[in-house]
Amino acid sequence: MNKQELINQIKLKKSFLCIGLDTDIQKIPEHLLKFDDPVFEFNKQIIDSTKDLCVAYKLNTAFYESNGINGWKSLMKTIDYIPKNIFSIADAKRGDIGNTSKMYAKTFFETMDFDSITVNPYMGTDSVEPFLDFNNKWVILLALTSNKGSEDFQNFSNQSNIKLYQQVIEKSMNWSNDSRMMYVVGATKYDSLKEIRKIIPDHFLLIPGIGAQGGSLDDVVKNGMNKDCGLLINSSRSIIYAGNGVNFAENAREAALKIKSEMENYIS
């Protein structure tokens, strides 16, 4: 999916909601355990009940890898089931020396056909470039995250008082453009969004941390939205685990609809 197609979906649905399918088999409704693939069945029903409300689905691969080969099968069935007009994100946080990154890119862009993948830029240019060799595929670089440990490194400043996450953004801008690259900025870091937007006014930002992690949609929008919206706001647990009974998918829809309805106020 290219940038204009993503923008068109945002305008059409009046939504910039990304739903995280971080599916933990220990947390899904018990009645699903009778299925051959309970994780996929859970994802399938969540997708069926929310696909008209969101513009993206993000699959954190750790929740699938932890189940071994069965988890990989669930992951592949899920990505195949997501409608092609919905942006798909492999939240895999890969990034390694060039030949290894090339194999990671092949895994998620060819074997699984995700639209995008999250990448850790710590190893630099040659660890990211292989992901950019695939047409109409996106790299989503980690920039400023919501977790407590982000303070350990991301806010370190150099002699010019430029923070490390700002240096990452400024350096990586030379690797590709706003049609191929996005950045992860945690919702709880909304006070930094204005400064980030000065550096990258036209890029999309993937914003996790709304909902269970305490981020504010209004704060993020006020500080981070650009002329094209430029935001994918991710919510995972507060949507997919909104209910735990037979009607879990309906409960998930209600939770997603609440966020989507708020988003409509910001989309012209």
Catalytic residues: 93
At residue 59's C-alpha, the angle toward residues 54 and 60, to 5°, is 135
The residues, ordered by sequence, that sit 6+ positions from 106 with a Cβ below 8 Å of its Cβ are none
Which residues, other chains included, contact 157 with Cβ-Cβ below 8 Å and sequence gap of 6+? 163, 164
C-alpha distances in angstroms, 80 versus 115, 127, 173?
A: 12, 27, 31
In the structure encoding, which two tokens stand for residue 34, read together? Answer: 């009778």
Cα–Cα dist 179/184, whole Å: 15
76, 108, 127, 202 from 256: Cα distances, Å:
24, 27, 35, 26
Calpha distance 186→214 (Å, rounded): 10
The answer to whether 67 and 74 have CB atoms below 8 angstroms apart is yes
Q: What is the DSSP string of 103-128?
A: HHHHIIIIIS--SEEEE-GGG-HHHH
> CA–CA separation, 154 vs 145, rounded Å?
8
Q: What one-character-per-residue DSSP string does 8-24 give?
A: HHHHHHT--EEEE----
